[in-house]
């Protein structure tokens, strides 16, 4: 198996949970409450701003021209193609672009982005690739499955599915997998354990991110239950 497949296999329960989460399921059905989706889009917009910083660091640390070019293309697509979805959707729901830029994220989102930035600064290029893989590749896989099941009537949910199942997004996801798998023969033992730890942390954050959006704030829920 390839390195990416090994990492998914080691964390298959959490990986599969991404595809069955109520937020994802209801988004595909079109039954997700709009307020939950808007909460998600605002949190995700902040996430993508920080994600873009990670991609810039990765491009600077890339050991060769191919990887440097990939991260530069990835950064451009995130800042334009992907984040434009969020700006467009939020505007249609009454949130101006300025309000979106000023959104203050929850502690969960801050923790996730801080983890990615720390990995980008302190880790090597394969660790950076492993930290980015759960988000990029799972979104593409999730969107493809939702599209195959039939697009929902609500335009904002169709827009999300079509964006993340698109060839532009899918091309980046496949390239990311390909670059990660280049290291399949050179990663074993302690290095694999370290890589798996990074991958698992990022994967867990992805699952928490869906849950945070579904509850409209995990920390808020914790305090309300006291």
Residue 55 lies in a domain: yes
Residue 71 lies in a domain: yes
Residue 225 lies in a domain: no
Residue 109 lies in a domain: yes
Instruction: Name residues of the chain where pLDDT drops below 70.
Output: 219-226
Q: Which of 82, 90, 135, 136 is catalytic?
A: 135
44 CB-side CA count, 13 A = 27
pLDDT tens digits, one per residue of 22-69: 999 999 999 999 999 999 999 999 999 999 999 999 999 999 999 999
Residue 226 lies in a domain: no
Q: Which of 127, 206, 211, 224 is catalytic?
A: 206
Domain that includes residue 65, residue range: 3-217
pLDDT score, position 220? 60
Quickly list DSSP for 153-202: SSHHHHHHHHHHTSHHHHHHHHHHHHHHHTTTTT--HHHHHHHHHHHHHH
pLDDT score, position 104? 94
User: Distances from the Cα of 186 to the Cαs of 126, 128, 147, 175, in angstroms?
Assistant: 10, 16, 36, 19
User: Distances from the Cα of 75 to the Cαs of 42, 72, 95, 145, 211, in angstroms?
Assistant: 19, 5, 24, 25, 26
pLDDT score, position 218? 73
How far the first Cα of the chain sits from its last, in Å, is 47
For residue 24, the domain's CATH number is: 1.20.910.10
pLDDT score, position 217? 85
Active site residue 153: no
pLDDT tens digits, one per residue of 147-158: 999 999 999 999
Q: How many domains does the chain have?
A: 1
Residue 171 lies in a domain: yes
pLDDT score, position 113? 98
182 CB-side CA count, 13 A = 14
pLDDT score, position 116? 98
Residue 147 lies in a domain: yes
Residue 176 lies in a domain: yes
pLDDT score, position 214? 97
pLDDT score, position 219? 62
Active site residue 201: no
Residues 6+ apart with CB under 8 A from 213: 23, 36, 37, 39, 40, 43, 44
């Amino acid at each position: 198996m390839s390195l990416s497949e090994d990492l998914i296999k080691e964390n298959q329960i959490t990986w599969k949970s991404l595809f069955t989460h109520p937020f994802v399921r209801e988004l595909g059905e079109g039954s997700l409450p709009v307020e939950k989706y808007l909460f998600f889009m605002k949190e995700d917009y902040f996430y993508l701003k920080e994600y873009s910083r990670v991609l810039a660091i990765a491009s600077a640390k890339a050991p060769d021209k191919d990887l440097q070019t990939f991260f530069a293309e990835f950064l451009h697509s995130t800042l334009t193609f992907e984040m434009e979805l969020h700006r467009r959707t939020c505007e249609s729901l009454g949130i101006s672009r300025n309000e979106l830029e000023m959104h203050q994220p929850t502690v969960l989102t801050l923790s996730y982005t801080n983890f990615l930035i720390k990995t980008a600064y302190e880790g090597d290029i394969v660790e950076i690739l492993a930290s980015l893989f759960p988000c990029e590749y799972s979104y593409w896989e999730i969107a493809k499955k939702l599209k195959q099941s039939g697009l929902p009537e609500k335009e904002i949910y169709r827009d999300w599915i079509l964006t993340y199942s698109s060839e532009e997004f899918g091309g980046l996801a496949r390239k990311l997998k390909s670059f990660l798998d280049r290291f399949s023969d050179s990663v074993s033992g302690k290095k694999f354990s370290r890589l798996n730890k990074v991958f698992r942390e990022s994967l867990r954050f992805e699952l928490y991110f869906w849950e945070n959006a579904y509850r409209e704030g995990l920390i808020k829920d914790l305090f309300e239950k006291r």
